[in-house]
Amino acid sequence: MNEKIVNLGSSIQIVCFKIGKEEYGIEILKVQEILKLPKITKLPKSYNYIMGVIDLRGKVIPIIDLSKKFGIKADASSDKSRTIVVDIEGKRVGLAIDSVSHVVKVDSNEIEPPPPVVKGISGKYIVGIAKLQEGFVVILDINQIFSSEELRTI
């Protein structure tokens, strides 16, 4: 069992979302809010996955394009595009995604550790894979998505 997220016999709620055709999830306690993708101010000479910044109630928040960060072909921007605002080591960050699917409660015994094939660099930000009736959901550890150097520049 993966101790990163759950204890044996417990369950968590996961906000499920899509990037391209794939379904991902973040533990609901890590999500501060979900917004319609707002007007973004572009930043010159930033990482290619940084879309820019937004003003969220007087605070400047960077918006990260998760499809570019993960190297996944995203669906074209649509009315379903959303930003999930999370707190990563004390920094508020918006994660741009294609759409939010649903919130689901998952028991710890329904979460498998990532397969050995993803144990490399991408495996560090995958907590596990939830087996649901609708299919698999890749559960992300948002605290591991960015290196400490990337966090400093964000």
Q: In angstroms, rounded to a whole number, what is the distance separating the alpha carbons of residues 88 and 47?
A: 18
CA of residue 91 relative to chain centroid, distance: 15
CATH number of 11-153: 2.40.50.180
The domains of the chain are located at 11-153
Return the structure tokens found at 99: 């759409």
Q: For 13-66, what is each residue's pLDDT tens digit?
A: 999 999 988 899 999 999 999 999 888 999 888 888 999 999 999 999 999 999
Q: For 61-107, what is each residue's pLDDT tens digit?
A: 999 999 888 888 776 667 788 999 999 888 899 999 999 989 999 99
Q: Check the CA dihedral 46-57-25-28 and report its sign.
A: positive
Q: For 120-153, what is each residue's pLDDT tens digit?
A: 556 678 888 998 887 889 999 888 887 777 777 7
Contact between residue 11 and residue 105 where contact means Cβ atoms under 8 Å apart: yes
Q: What is the value of pTM for the model shown? A: 0.83
